[in-house]
Amino acid sequence: MVKFRYLRTRMTVLYAGLFGIALMLVAVAVWTAINSSARGLVRDELTASGAVYGQLWESQTAQLGQGAAVLAQDYGFREAVATNDEPTVRSALDNLRARQKVDGALILGIDGYATSAGLQPDATAIATLWQGLNGGSIEAGVLTIDGQPYQAVSAPILAPVLIGWVVFVERLDQTQMRKLETLSAIPLSASVLTSSRGTWRDMAGPPSRLDGAVNKAVLSGGHPVKARTTEGETMVLARPLPSFDAASPAVLTLSYPMSQALKPFAPMFAALGGIALTGLALLLAGTWVLSRGLTRPITALDEAVHRLKVGEHAEVAVSSSDEIGRLAESFNAMAGDIRDREARLTHMALHDQETGLPNRLWLERQAALAPDAWVVLLGVDRFEIVRNAIGYDSMGQLVGSLGSRLSRAANDTRVARIAAGVVGLILEAEDEVNALETAARLCAVADQPINLIGATVDAVLTAGIATTRRETGGVNSVVDRAGIALDQARGAHLKAALFDAAAYGDPVGNLSLISDLMAALESDQVWMAYQPKFDLRADAITGVEALMRWNHPRRGFVSPDLFITMAEETGQIRALTEWGLRHAIADQKALEAAGHVLTMSVNISGRLLSDTSFADFALAEVARCGADLCFEITETAVIDNPEMALGIIDRFSAAGIAVSIDDYGSGLSSLSYLKRIRADELKIDKAFILTLDESSRDALLVKSTIDLAHSLGMKVTAEGVETPTALTLLRGMGCDKAQGYLIARPMALTGLIERLDMPALEGETKAA
Amino acid sequence: MFRFILFLIAFMALPGATLAGPLTVSVRDAAGRPVRDAVVTVRPDAGVPRGPIRFSWPLRVVQQNVQFQPFVLIAPVGAPVSFPNLDRVRHQVYSFSRGNRFEIELFGQDQTRTHTFTTTGVAALGCNIHDQMLAYVRIVDTPWAGKTDASGDVTIPDIPAGGASLKVWHPRLNVPGNESAYVLTIDAGAGRQTMTGDFSSRAGVR
């Protein structure tokens, strides 16, 4: 079954097909009628012509017969024949032949001897003629002489008994046939055919094109028959003619090709065909137009459904009250419902349900439409505290009130709720200064206390501003940028701040930095630097602190503060520390080989103190190499599980590893640590040492810390010693070791070995 | 092709007798039907008597009702045959037969012409005016001759006993010369011969 894409195609094809079939039937009927009529006409004409020819044949036979008889009955002629007076006989034959205008005349004796005039028949023809005549079966008929059929007519010579025959022969040629053809009303073609060895041949000899049809025509008894020849269907009439040679019968054939008979009807057929085609075209066009009228509402519905599917406006004009009309009405109702629901969904997606204000998504869309504007986010300071104070419901009211105030203050600009305590709007401003001023002015709307259910609430607003003009700082969303700006404003204790990409840094870039770092551990980008520790009592360098350094191929030198903090925050610090520990131990061996026995200090993050497997690794490593290590515990990170950390530190101590408290005096260090950690060493933060020679307060703090450490049994190392004065002061305070640029900068292993070969206090003498 | 069946019926021979009994010859066509107007002649080996031959029938061929009468006439050689015209129309009698060509110019009612046939054989008679007229004159040189009647039989009496030749002639006998010859012995007493032949010759028929 054919699938139709459109209803109207289907209708058109159906109607056109039906009409086409009807047309075909009519055409067949007309053609059959005409064909049959033409065939009848030809048949009648052939029959009539056949009859006419029969009469012609008879009359010609009679005419020739009369001529022959005249001679045969002439007394003198008979006497001449009877007495074998050949010259006389011949002259008489010539005479009569000329008079009768026949092709040939001959005397055939009863003994078979022939005397001829004009045509000279061959012996075969004479024999055939004699057999026929002597047999008495035939007197006139077709005689073939030299392959050419002749009409032969005889008259007996009685003297008084039969002594022979006078025979006239007349050629049966095309001329005679043309004569016959002109007698017919239709241009039929006539021919005399003779049969030889089963094949019917034309007068001239070649096999006739009607060969196949003649036998059938002869058998039909003089009725025309249909036959297929080289000229197509042909009507053939065959009329047997008497023949002297029984083995070679002769027929007169009349034939007429049907194509000729149908030729006069060709214009009619053409006209009928034209009418049919025009009719078909009209029907096609008509059906198309009609079906389009019928299917237009359906098509409209179809298109409306498609529009509905892609979310466009879809309404069908209803013009009829039939089934399609009702369907269209239902569809319109349904489409309306869908539209309403969609609108509701859209509204919900773009609005905050609690306050009815637009939401963050809405603001982002608006911002995307304003290429040169400012997004201002205003946050309620100390939001959680306020919220906890007044409750969640009231907080929503508070934000709603603030939103409407801001809207009024900003020339009825719509205000969106971005987060629980943050609202935002889009601001047109000439420049940054103008934007900041406006934002600060907007913050002032909160100066008036807000009345909520009879109580007044004070709220303080801070504003963050970002421009929609360009993306900066790797933050895609302008609302995010404004949000960061809000945090930055709060951090800087400003009323309003612009987004500062530089201050924000590159958190995403940092994240990728860690993966770079872990990959770089295998290369020489990361290396260990060592900063010597000077023993003030021994006046010698007795130890070094191992410090990690990283030269990023693109970024260059990366601050250890940055990448170590990142490693701590992303959980990579253990792997990093293990790597550093292994290198430090190896380098300690290298120093030993170079003749320098030094205590190697390695920084251990406080985070690792809750990781027993790291402790296992470190202890195993130390035991394996027999290293003399000092673990400097940094306190940059919070120690989550103090009990476990203390246990691990105890294990380190038990294994002979010295433990040092790093950066004491800054950050999170507290006296409780000193109380609980049994450390061997305390390192005073360089913040105190750098200003030691300027601030007497610092000197007092350092002095008392040294005393405190000593009284707890710990050695004291001062970091950040950069001046000889500071060194002298520290020496006076009883500090045990000093570390800083005055002694040496952190340096690579080779540099360190060179440095160790020089006087321990090179820097001091230089500075002095 | 014809078949000749000979039956010899022996009679007691009388001593010194010179005359034998009559010979009856029956002529039949291929279908066994009797053939009339067949001329049977017998010529004894001993020869024929000298002197004029006389037959019991008149030697004349009458023209009556535009027909020759009789159709076949047996005439002795050298005897005059008369041609009386009993019709009111005139006739011109002729014969182109070899040895017996003659022509009797137009002659009218009740006029008689004669012609003497000098050669044995057959003269086919025609009338130059009336094509349908045809008759034959069989000229013989033996007195023992006769023609079959409607029953196809002819009886020839008084034939001398001994060897003889017998000839049967008929215008339609389909053999050369329309004549068949046989050899037989004539015995004393009556003899009977039956001759069967093909009588379908086209010549000699109108």
The rounded radius of gyration (Å) of the Cα atoms in chain B is 18
B73 closest CA partner among B14, B21, B144, B122: B122
The last residue of one of the domains, among B121, B140, B159, is: B140
pLDDT attached to residue B3: 41
Q: How far is residue A549's CA from residue A529's CA, in Å, rounded to a whole number?
A: 7
Same domain, B160 and B127: no
**Nearest CA-CA distance, residue B201 and chain A, Å:** 10
Tell me if chain B has a CB within 8 Å of the CB of A69. no
Do B89 and B134 lie in a common domain? yes
Strands (E), chain B: 3-6, 23-29, 39-44, 62-64, 67-69, 72-76, 80-84, 91-95, 102-107, 112-116, 121-127, 134-140, 145-147, 153-156, 162-169, 179-186, 191-197
Is residue B86 helix, strand or coil?
Answer: coil
% chain A with pLDDT above 90? 9
Q: Which of B94, B124, B128 sits opposite A161 (nearest CB)?
A: B124
Residue A167 DSSP one-character state: E
Size (chain B), residues: 206
Q: How far apart are CA B180 and CA B73, in angstroms?
A: 18
From the CB of residue A672, how many other CB atoms can be counted at a distance below 10 Å?
9
What is d(CA A494, CA A504) in angstroms, rounded to the nearest whole number?
Answer: 16
CATH number at residue B83: 2.60.40.420
CA dihedral A588, A591, A592, A593 (to 10 degrees): 120
Between A306 and A6, residue with greater pLDDT: A306
B203 is a domain residue: no
Judged by CB atoms closer than 8 Å, whether chains meet at A160 and B124 is answered as yes
Give Dmax (Cα) for chain A.
197
Taking residues A661-665, what's their average pLDDT? 84
Over residues A342-356, mean pLDDT: 87
Q: How far is CA B154 from CA A254, B36, B170, in A?
A: 60, 9, 13
Final residue belonging to a domain, choices B114, B140, B166: B140
Identify which of B27, B37, B79, B20 has the alpha carbon closest to the alpha carbon of residue B55: B79
Closest partner residue to A160 among B101, B126, B202, by Cβ? B126
- DSSP output for A612-637: HHHHHHHHHHHHHHT--EEEEEE-SS
**Residue A601 structure tokens:** 């200090």
Angstroms from A78 CA to nearest CA on chain B? 9
* Per-residue pLDDT at B13: 34
Asked whether residue B75 falls in the same domain as residue B44, the answer is no
Residue A424 has which token pair?
A: 């935002």
Instruction: Provide mean pLDDT across the span B191-203.
Output: 84
Say yes or no: B117 and B68 in one domain: yes
CA distance A476 to A474: 6
Give me the sign of the Cα torsion angle B170, B122, B62, A163: positive
Give the pLDDT confidence score for residue B68 in this predicted structure: 92
Tell me how far apart the alpha carbons of residues A410 and A432 are, in angstroms, rounded to a whole number.
17
To which residue do tokens 């101590």 refer?
Answer: A653
Q: Whole-angstrom Cα distance, residue A299 to residue A8?
A: 10
Question: What gap in Å lies between CA A718 and CA A736, rounded to an integer?
Answer: 8
DSSP letters spanning A287-346: HHHHHHHHHHHHHHHHHHHHHHHTT----------SHHHHHHHHHHHHHHHHHHHHHHHH
Q: How far apart are CA A304 and CA A312, in angstroms?
A: 9
Residue A218, classified by CB atoms within 10 Å of its CB into exposed (0-12), middle (13-18) or buried (19+), is: buried
Tell me the two tokens of residue A395: 């907080």
Neighbours of B158 (CB within 10 A): 12
Amino acid of residue A356: G
Placement of tokens 């021994």 in the chain: A538
Q: Tell me how long chain A is.
A: 768
Report DSSP state, residue A760: T
pLDDT of residue B11: 34
Task: Flag whether residue A83 sits within 8 Å of chain B, measured between CB atoms.
Answer: yes
- pLDDT attached to residue B168: 93
Q: Note whether B66 and B133 are same-domain residues.
A: yes
Q: How many CB atoms lie within 10 A of CB A359?
A: 19
B153-173: per-residue pLDDT in tens? 999 988 888 889 999 999 888
Nearest to B131 among A73, A136, A163 (CB): A73
Inter-chain Cβ pairs, chain A and chain B, closer than 8 A? 37
Domain assignment present for residue B130? The answer is yes
Kindly state whether residue B24 falls inside one of the protein's structural domains.
yes
Contacts of B206 in chain A (CB under 8 A): 158, 160
Q: How many CB atoms lie within 10 A of CB A216?
A: 13
CB-based contact B124 A83, cutoff 8 Å: no
Backbone CA torsion sign across A728, A730, A734, A737: negative
Q: Are residues A161 and B125, on separate chains, in Cβ contact within 8 Å?
A: no
* Residue B104 placed within a domain: yes
d(CA B62, CA B93): 11
A573-593 and A612-625 helices, crossing angle to 10° = 10
Q: What pLDDT does residue A526 have?
A: 87
More confident residue, A230 or A636: A230
Say which CATH number the domain at B17 has: 2.60.40.1120
Pairing of strands B121-127, B91-95: antiparallel
Domains and CATH numbers, chain A: 9-51+175-264 (3.30.450), 56-170 (3.30.450.20), 360-505 (3.30.70.270), 527-548+571-767 (3.20.20.450)
Percent of chain A whose predicted confidence (pLDDT) is above 70: 97
Q: Tell me what pLDDT residue A534 has.
A: 92
B131 touches chain A (CB under 8 A): yes
Q: Look at the pTM and tell me if it is higher than 0.90.
A: no
Query: Taking CB atoms and an 8 Å cutoff, what residues of chain A touch B94?
Result: 75
Please report residues of B whose CB lies closer than 8 A to that of A162: 202-205
The residues, ordered by sequence, that sit 6+ positions from A241 with a Cβ below 8 Å of its Cβ are A57, A141, A142, A192, A250, A251, A252
User: Which of A276, A302, A399, A273 lies closest to A16 in space, CA to CA?
Assistant: A276
Q: Distance (Å, rounded) from C-alpha A167 to C-alpha A106? A: 5
Q: Tell me how close the Cα of A119 comes to any Cα of chain B, in angstroms.
A: 27
The C-alpha of A152 sits at a distance from chain B's nearest C-alpha, in angstroms, of: 20
B67, B135: one domain? yes
CB within 8 Å: A160 and B202: no
Residue B19 is predicted with a pLDDT of 63
How confident is the model at residue A585, as a pLDDT? 92
Residues B20 and B70 in one domain: no
* ipTM, two decimals: 0.74
Q: Is the pLDDT confidence value at A86 over 80?
A: yes
Which helix (H) or strand (E) is A165 found in, with range?
strand A162-171
* Same-domain check for residues B81 and B130: yes
Chain A residues inside the 8 Å CB shell of B202 = 110, 134, 136, 162
Domain presence at residue B205: no
Tokens 């990690």 correspond to: A548
Regarding whether B149 and B134 lie in a shared domain, the answer is no
Average pLDDT taken over every residue of chain A? 84
Residue B76 has a pLDDT of: 93
Per-residue 3-state assignment (H helix, E strand, C coil) for A413-474 = CCCEEEECCEEEEEECCCCHHHHHHHHHHHHHHHHCCEEECCEEECCCEEEEEEECCCCECC
Residues A109 and A157: their CA atoms lie apart, in Å, by: 9
Q: Write the CA distances from B141 to A367, A384, A659, B122, integer angstroms.
A: 165, 184, 193, 12
Residues B84 and B122 in one domain: yes
**Structure-token pair, residue A706:** 């040294």
Domains: count for chain B: 2
Determine the Cα–Cα distance for residues A238 and A251; give it in Å rounded to an integer.
6
Q: Angle at which helices A560-570 and A507-520 pack, to 10 degrees? A: 90
Q: Facing residues of B156 across strands?
A: B23
pLDDT of residue B116: 92
Tell me if B171 and A73 make a contact (CB, 8 A cut-off): no
Listed range (A211-225, A295-309, A596-610) with the worst mean pLDDT: A211-225
Given B103, B125, B140, the domain boundary residue is B140
| Residue B12: predicted pLDDT | 36
Q: At what angle do helices A749-756 and A573-593 cross, to 10 degrees?
A: 40
Chain B positions in Cβ-Cβ contact with residue A159 (cut-off 8 Å): 96, 124, 126
Query: Tokens for A215?
Result: 């036998």
Q: Is the pLDDT of residue A343 over 50?
A: yes
Contacts (Cβ under 8 Å, ≥6 apart) of A429:
A373, A374, A435, A438
User: Residue A324 above 70 pLDDT?
Assistant: yes
Query: How many CA atoms are closer than 13 Å to the CA of A345, on its beta-carbon side?
Result: 6
B14 plus B39 within the same structural domain: yes
Question: Is residue B124 within 8 angstroms of chain A, CB to CB?
Answer: yes
- Answer for the pair A72, A156: CB distance below 8 angstroms, yes or no: yes
CA distance A245 to chain B (A): 20
> Which of A674, A563, A581 is closest to A625 using CA atoms?
A581
Question: In sequence order, what are the residues at sequence separation of 6 or more whose Cβ sits closer than 8 angstroms to the Cβ of residue A142?
Answer: A149, A150, A151, A152, A172, A192, A194, A241, A242, A243, A244, A250
Query: Tokens standing for A299?
Result: 């098509």
- In this structure, is residue B80 part of a structural domain? yes
Band (A768; pLDDT cuts 50, 70, 90): very low
B196 interfacial to chain A (CB closer than 8 Å): no
A160 to chain B: closest CA residue: B126
Residue B55 domain-assigned? Answer: no
User: What is the CB-side half-sphere exposure of residue A245 using CA atoms within 13 A?
Assistant: 22
Q: HSE-up of A593 (CA within 13 Å, CB side)?
A: 8
CB contact under 8 A, B206 and A78: no
pLDDT tens digits, A441-471: 888 888 888 888 778 888 888 999 988 887 7
Name the least confident of A292-296, B47-51, B106-110.
A292-296
Residue B193 lies in a domain: yes
Same domain as B77, residue B37: no
Closest approach of chain B CAs to the CA of A129, in angstroms?
A: 16
Q: What is the pLDDT of residues A15-65, one digit of tens each?
A: 888 888 988 898 889 888 988 888 888 888 888 888 888 888 888 889 888
DSSP string, A665-707: TSTT--HHHHHH---SEEEE-HHHHHTTTT-HHHHHHHHHHHH
Rounded to a whole number, what is the distance in Å from the CA of A259 to chain B's nearest CA?
53
Structural domain that includes position B117: 62-140
Nearest CA in chain B to A136: B202
CB-based contacts of B29, cutoff 8 Å, min separation 6: B35, B196, B197, B198, B199, B200
Which of A75, A79, A160 has its CB closest to that of B125?
Answer: A160
Q: How far apart are CA B28 and CA B196, in angstroms?
A: 5
